Structure 1
Amino acid sequence: MGQQFNAAYWQHRYQLNQTGWDVGEVTPPLKNYFDQLPNKDIRILVPGSGNGYEAEYLFKHGFKQVYLVDVAEAPLQSFARRVPGFPKEHLLHQDFFSLEGEYDLLVEQTFFCALDPSLRQDYARQCANLLKPGGKLMGLLFDTDFAHEGPPFSGSREEYRKYFEPYFHFLHFDTAYNSIQPRQGREVFMLLQKK
């Protein structure tokens, strides 16, 4: 990970509450997908989880094999206070790229866009490594040019396709119809299945 965007950088952002990406709840595209999942026993990982609203929603709706991973300790501590019944051993304070394990579903929500773009291919590969055969990567990617230097970093669906195509079948990869208002027309909802 680039020195500028290391664990200390993200810890500092959380401590200063400089978290403009944080909408304070699970977003509608992810919530709608979660509500359609029939099997509550699947192992789910939220990479770069931040405050983990997705994991909180899943846990409160009966999913017990939910894991969060983040390089910054502050959001994991905040999550533990907010969701006291959540298993502490499912809060993984480590680098996503060094994580091992097997999951049925990975949930992407503003982690990919926070990474230095030089890590995007590595991200796609690591997602595939962490998924069981046939496992799925779902979530949202920004399909926009930001006026400022990142994070978040700009990108396009055409660019993203080349990172994921070696490892995944594309089940859905299109503009999200139910993004929150500030992100309308600027997010791609993806549902990819490990090859």
Structure 2
Amino acid sequence: MNNLDKEYWENRYKEKQTGWNIGYISTPIKTYVDQIKDKSIKILIPGAGNSYEAEYFWQNGFKNINVLDIAKQPLENLKKRIPKFPNNQLIHGNFFNHKGSYDLIIEQTFFCALSPNLRKSYADTISDLLNPNGKIVGLLFNFELTDSGPPFGGNTNEYIKLFGSQFNINILKPSINSIKERQGKELFFIFEKKGNGVNQKYHTKSQGN
């Protein structure tokens, strides 16, 4: 297994070894975004990479969106594409050290890039960052977890065991509209942080999956 540190990811961008970068927002996440009605919600995309998700949010009227990555290059790439994107919402840092409160966190090829021994810390950090009844939404890979990553895989039972104590598993099922290269290999999910309060109105039924 590689040493998946800041230098590793900086080099991947420098050498243009970014096979996860599809160049546009993935269809399952786009379908979800298109159903959100409240555009004032506070959003975080951790391990965002070039973050075409953030670009799509921005173009569709969401301005309270925060993009975090341990590598600086992808943040600069996003700023070039959206010059008006606020600098203070481009966060160059370590996800596990980040502090904040969010209504929605988007997961897109970040979880699968982490060393598997960090998965419990990932779940804990997500829970800490979400407001009560806040949600993490996105895609998880559905193939055997081995040491030959990234990307690292997993399965439904593993994800339920990892997230189930802190989150309500609203949706976790095979994605029906993945991009061609990932068809049959992805699970679409909506996990809601357990807590008191009224469910927030901007989260809808099945997000097209």
Pairwise TM-score range, normalised by the shorter structure: over 0.9
Alignment-derived partner of residue 123 in structure 2: 124
Percent of pairs with identical residues: 45
Alignment-derived partner of residue 145 in structure 1: 144
2-side partners of 1:107 and 1:147: how far apart? 24
* 2:25 maps to amino acid: V
Normalised by the length of structure 2, the TM-score is 0.90
- Paired residues in the alignment total 194
Alignment-derived partner of residue 21 in structure 1: 20
Alignment-derived partner of residue 57 in structure 2: 58
Cα deviation 1:9-40 (Å, max 9, x = unaligned) = 00000111100011000010000000000000
Taking only aligned residues, the RMSD between alpha carbons, in angstroms, comes to: 1.4
Runs of 4+ aligned structure 1 residues displaced above 4 Å come to none
2-side partners of 1:3 and 1:42: how far apart? 36
| Structure 1 residues 146 and 120: alpha-carbon distance in aligned structure 2, compared to 1, 3 A threshold | closer
User: Unmatched 5+ residue regions in structure 1?
Assistant: none
2-side partners of 1:115 and 1:24: how far apart? 21
Partners of 2:46 and 2:95 within 8 A in 1: yes
Cα deviation 1:153-190 (Å, max 9, x = unaligned) = 12112111111011100111100010001111110000
Alignment-derived partner of residue 190 in structure 1: 189
2-side partners of 1:152 and 1:159: how far apart? 16
Cα deviation 1:39-96 (Å, max 9, x = unaligned) = 0000000010000100000011000000000100011111111111111110000000
Alignment-derived partner of residue 82 in structure 1: 81
Measured after TM superposition, the shift of residue 146 of structure 1 is 7.2
User: Unmatched 5+ residue regions in structure 2?
Assistant: 195-209
Measured after TM superposition, the shift of residue 145 of structure 1 is 2.9
